[in-house]
């Protein structure tokens, strides 16, 4: 008998050109900026105090660590020129709360090797003058993203700008930004339904609308060994917040991707505009930059937007629990055929993995319309007669990491080969052979006589 191979049948998986090894990246895989208003005077010209939190997500195997400190900028909209901004403050902040993040958020899937991500937080507070009609932007700029990202052009020189805008309404009313409930998994499984709640909460109960957006780009390779110049240039590794002001550029998606369809494939992996839930079946392997924004409405008026961009790694996942048995033939995905000859007893051998993660097993065998259960690792089943029977192996039933396999059991009557022969002992001549084989209750349908070259049969 054989042991099953773990594969994904009937799944068309598209490999992106030059699919990379993840351990060769730069470092940035995502981030967002949120704020809480702790005080507002409530009138133009008064003061409003805000607590800010920036979370940066990083590829542990990248070439660069978290900035410590990281430089942030506060930008004010130029009165009468909504597309022009000026830097009014810059400062350095050290990170806190560094920790590894859950790669898959699925305890039943083995994370692929050489993939590891962590996050760090930058906290600070600032008091701002309440403006009559202008916004503030708080931003952190850095290069570079992983150069192995498949869905953007020039990934090796594409950086990121993580920002939040505080509108005049938010300043005067003391509004706080929405906050995402969770960070999406860094690894998602190709060919498997993906369902992630990317929604946010809002302290004021404002209406939230979700969509993909085109992530922001800032910085470049200038100043690293491959491109001489100043790291503070706007295409440098750490752009100067004084000189490099909003509006920030957008990352350039490579065909056939776009910010609307960042994972490619068909049907697309989509986000529900009302719930923030991302659903779909990803079928293109690779690394993908994805942006999600949350628009905050109060009384039908847009008063703020929360941005997050992050990197999805789509791969073929290996489950932790996989139901399999010793078999004679695989007739489908986790569908096994076993044959027994000359016996009405079937010994079913369980070779499921991983044993340490399997807490229960049950064999459900259909014997003439009655389901007979065996709650053991292996099963020894006595059948009343020869024939074909169906069975099923269940692992970790009614738990999150459950699995099962379908089994077809063939019981054949035994065949005992025998023959007799007759010849003239006095005169050399032909020898007659007579079949004496026994095949239980069946009729033998095929005979093959073989005589060896040395005349021995």
Percent over 70 (pLDDT), the chain: 92
List the single range of 214-228, 266-280, 418-432 with lowest mean pLDDT: 418-432
Q: Using CA atoms, how far apart are residues 105 and 102, in angstroms rounded to an integer?
A: 6
**Mean pLDDT estimate for the chain:** 89
Residue 107 is predicted with a pLDDT of 79
- Taking CA atoms, 199 is separated from 37, 193, 211, 235, 273, in Å, by 21, 18, 11, 33, 10
pLDDT tens digits for range 356-385: 899 999 999 999 999 999 999 999 999 999
List the single range of 277-291, 321-335, 408-422 with lowest mean pLDDT: 408-422
Name the range with the highest mean pLDDT among 14-18, 104-108, 169-173.
Answer: 169-173
Query: Is pLDDT above 60 for 14?
Result: no
Q: Which has more confidence, 116 or 199?
A: 199
Query: Is pLDDT above 60 for 456?
Result: no
Q: Kindly give, in sequence order, each residue whose CB lies less than 8 Å from that of residue 80, ignoring residues fewer than 6 positions away.
A: none
Query: Is pLDDT above 70 for 86?
Result: yes
Residue 440 is predicted with a pLDDT of 64
Q: Using CA atoms, how far apart are residues 226 and 230, in angstroms rounded to an integer?
A: 12
Residue 453 is predicted with a pLDDT of 66
Q: Which CATH class is domain 320-412?
A: mainly beta
Confidence of residue 452 (pLDDT cuts 50, 70, 90): confident
- The count of residues in the chain is 457
Confidence of residue 54 (pLDDT cuts 50, 70, 90): very high
R_g of the chain, CA atoms, integer Å: 33
pLDDT tens digits for range 123-141: 999 999 999 999 999 999 9
User: Residue 223 has which token pair?
Assistant: 């100043």
User: Residue 202 has which token pair?
Assistant: 């809002």
What are the boundaries of each domain within the chain? 14-318, 320-412, 419-457
What is the H or E stretch that residue 90 is in? strand 81-93
Query: Is pLDDT above 80 for 18?
Result: no
pLDDT tens digits for range 149-166: 999 999 989 999 999 999
Average pLDDT on 197-207 reads: 97
Q: Using CA atoms, how far apart are residues 354 and 6, in angstroms rounded to an integer?
A: 12
Confidence of residue 176 (pLDDT cuts 50, 70, 90): very high
Confidence of residue 442 (pLDDT cuts 50, 70, 90): low
Query: Is pLDDT above 90 for 294?
Result: yes
Whether residue 192 contacts residue 158, with contact meaning beta carbons closer than 8 Å, is answered with no
Q: Kindly give, in sequence order, each residue whose CB lies less than 8 Å from that of residue 164, ignoring residues fewer than 6 positions away.
A: 32, 33, 34, 35, 52, 137, 138, 139, 177, 304, 305, 306, 307
Q: Using CA atoms, how far apart are residues 132 and 37, in angstroms rounded to an integer?
A: 18
Q: Kindly give, in sequence order, each residue whose CB lies less than 8 Å from that of residue 362, ignoring residues fewer than 6 positions away.
A: 373, 374, 375, 393, 394, 397
Q: Per DSSP, what are the bridge partners of residue 315? A: 189
Range 315-343 burial, b when 16+ CB lie within 10 A, else e: bebebbbbbbbbbeebeeebebbbebeee
Average pLDDT on 265-272 reads: 94
Query: Is pLDDT above 60 for 8?
Result: no
Residue 51 is predicted with a pLDDT of 99
pLDDT tens digits for range 422-437: 877 788 778 887 777 7
User: Residue 270 has which token pair?
Assistant: 């989509």
pLDDT tens digits for range 318-350: 888 999 999 999 999 999 999 999 899 999 999
Name the range with the highest mean pLDDT among 3-7, 8-12, 389-393.
Answer: 389-393
Average pLDDT on 11-36 reads: 59
Residue 104 is predicted with a pLDDT of 78
Average pLDDT on 229-242 reads: 92
Average pLDDT on 64-83 reads: 94
Q: Using CA atoms, how far apart are residues 137 and 86, in angstroms rounded to an integer?
A: 10
Taking every pair of C-alpha atoms in the chain, what is the biggest distance, in angstroms?
131
How many CB atoms sit inside 10 A of residue 161's CB?
27
Whether residue 296 contacts residue 83, with contact meaning beta carbons closer than 8 Å, is answered with no
Residue 7 is predicted with a pLDDT of 44
Query: Is pLDDT above 70 for 419?
Result: yes
Strands 335-341 and 136-142: unpaired
Considering the entire predicted model, what is its pTM?
Answer: 0.75
């Amino acid at each position: 008998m054989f042991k099953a191979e773990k594969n994904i049948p009937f799944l068309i998986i598209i490999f992106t050109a030059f699919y990379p090894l993840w351990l060769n990246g730069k470092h940035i895989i995502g981030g967002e900026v949120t704020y809480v208003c702790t005080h507002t005077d409530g009138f133009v010209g008064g003061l409003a105090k805000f607590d800010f939190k920036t979370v940066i997500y990083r590829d542990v195997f990248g070439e660069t660590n978290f900035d410590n400190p990281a430089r942030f900028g506060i930008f004010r909209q130029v009165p009468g020129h909504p597309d022009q901004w000026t830097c009014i403050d810059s400062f350095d902040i050290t990170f806190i709360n560094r920790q590894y993040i859950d790669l898959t958020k699925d305890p039943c899937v083995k994370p692929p090797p050489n993939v590891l991500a962590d996050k760090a937080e930058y906290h600070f507070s600032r008091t701002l003058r309440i403006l009559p009609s202008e916004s503030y932007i708080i931003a952190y700029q850095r290069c570079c993203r992983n150069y192995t990202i498949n869905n953007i052009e020039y990934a090796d020189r594409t950086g990121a700008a993580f920002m939040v805008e505080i509108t005049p309404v938010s300043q005067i009313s003391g509004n706080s930004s929405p906050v995402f409930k969770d960070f999406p998994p860094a690894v998602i499984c190709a060919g498997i339904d993906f369902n992630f709640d990317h929604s946010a909460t809002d302290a004021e109960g404002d209406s939230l609308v979700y969509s993909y957006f085109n992530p922001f780009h800032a910085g470049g390779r200038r100043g690293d060994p491959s491109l001489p110049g100043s790291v503070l240039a706007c295409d440098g590794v750490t752009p100067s917040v004084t000189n490099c002001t909003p509006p920030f550029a957008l990352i350039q998606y490579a065909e056939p991707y776009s910010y609307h369809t960042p994972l490619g494939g068909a049907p697309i992996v989509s986000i529900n505009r009302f719930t923030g839930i991302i659903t779909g079946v990803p079928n293109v392997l690779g690394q993908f930059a994805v942006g999600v924004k949350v628009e905050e409405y109060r009384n039908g008026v847009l008063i703020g937007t929360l941005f997050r961009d992050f990197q999805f790694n789509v791969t073929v996942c290996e489950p932790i629990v996989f139901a399999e048995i010793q078999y004679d033939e695989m007739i489908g995905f986790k569908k096994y055929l076993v044959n027994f000859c000359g016996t009405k007893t079937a010994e079913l051998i369980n070779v499921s993995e991983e044993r340490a993660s399997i807490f229960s097993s049950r064999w459900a065998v259909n014997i003439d319309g009655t389901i007979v259960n065996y709650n053991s690792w292996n099963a020894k089943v006595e059948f009343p007669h020869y024939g074909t029977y169906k069975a099923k192996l269940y692992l970790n039933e009614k738990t999150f990491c459950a699995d099962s396999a379908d089994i077809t059991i063939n019981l054949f009557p035994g065949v005992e080969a025998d023959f007799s022969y007759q010849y003239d002992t006095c005169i050399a001549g032909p020898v007659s052979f007579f079949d004496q084989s026994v095949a239980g209750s069946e009729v033998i349908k095929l005979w093959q006589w073989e005589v060896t070259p040395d005349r021995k049969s």
